[in-house]
Amino acid sequence: MDRTRYDAFVRTFFDCDPKEITQIFSELLDAMRAEESLPPGHYLSQNYDTAQANPEIHVLPGNLKDARDAVFPYFWGTDGWSSPLHLENVRGPANYASLIGAIACLLKNPNLCTDSYSQRSNELEVKAITALANLVFYHTVDPWGIFTVGGTISNLYAAKIGIEKVVPGAMRTGLRGERVAGIVSEAAHYCAHTIAGWLGLGTDNLHEIPTDRAMAMRLDLFAAKLDELYTQGVKVAFAIGTFGTTDAFGIDDLAGMRTILEDKAAKYGVPVPQLHADAAVGWGLGFLNEYDLDKNVLQLTPELKPVVAKVQQMCKGLRVADSVTIDFHKTGRGHYPSSAFIVNRKSDLKYLARSKDDTPYFPEADSRRDPALFTLETSRPGLGPYTVMASLNGIGLLGWQMLMARSLELADLLKRKLAKLDYCKVLNADTCGASVVWWVLPKGRDAKAIFDKLEAGQLSPEETTRYLTEIRRLYNKRDRTLDPARDARLSFTTEMGYRPGGVTVPAWKAVFYNPKTDEAIVDRLIESIEEVA
Per-residue tens of pLDDT for the chain, all 533 residues: 889 998 888 999 999 999 999 999 999 999 999 888 888 866 656 777 777 877 778 888 999 999 999 999 888 888 889 999 999 999 989 999 999 999 999 999 999 988 888 889 999 999 999 999 999 998 888 999 999 999 999 999 999 999 999 999 999 999 999 999 999 999 999 999 999 999 999 999 999 999 999 999 999 999 999 999 999 999 999 999 999 999 999 999 999 999 999 999 999 999 999 999 999 999 999 999 999 999 999 999 999 999 999 999 999 999 999 999 999 999 999 999 999 999 999 999 999 887 766 666 666 666 667 787 788 888 899 999 999 999 999 999 999 999 999 999 999 999 999 999 999 999 999 999 999 999 999 999 999 999 999 999 999 999 999 999 999 999 999 999 999 999 999 999 999 999 999 999 999 999 999 999 999 999 999 999 999 99
- Alpha-carbon 484 to chain mean position: 27
Nearest to 275 by CA among 260, 258, 262, 253: 258
What's the burial of 318, exposed, middle or buried (CB within 10 Å: 0-12/13-18/19+)? buried
Residues 136, 286: contact at Cβ < 8 Å?
yes
The whole-angstrom distance between residue 398's C-alpha and the CA centroid of its chain comes to 22
Q: What is the pLDDT of residue 43?
A: 60
Question: What DSSP letter does each residue of 216-239 carry, written as one string?
Answer: -B-HHHHHHHHHHHHHTT-EEEEE
CA 317 from chain centre, in angstroms, equals 18
Contact between 123 and 362 under an 8 Å Cβ cutoff? The reply is: no
Q: How far is CA 73 from CA 52, 67, 96, 106, 208, in A?
A: 16, 12, 22, 22, 44
Q: Give the pLDDT score at 45.
A: 60
Task: Determine the longest span between alpha carbons in the chain, in angstroms.
Answer: 84
Pairing assessment for the beta strands 435-440 and 424-426 based on DSSP bridges:
antiparallel
Question: Does the global pTM surpass 0.85?
Answer: yes
CA 231 to chain centroid, in Å, comes to: 35
Question: What is the reported pLDDT for 530?
Answer: 97
Query: What is the rounded distance in angstroms from the CA atom of residue 371 to the CA atom of residue 144?
Result: 10
Distances 4 to 7, 38, 387 between C-alpha atoms, Å:
5, 47, 40
- 3-state class of 193 per DSSP? helix
DSSP at 149: S
Q: Residue 320's pLDDT is what?
A: 97
pLDDT for the residue 230: 98
pLDDT at 134: 94
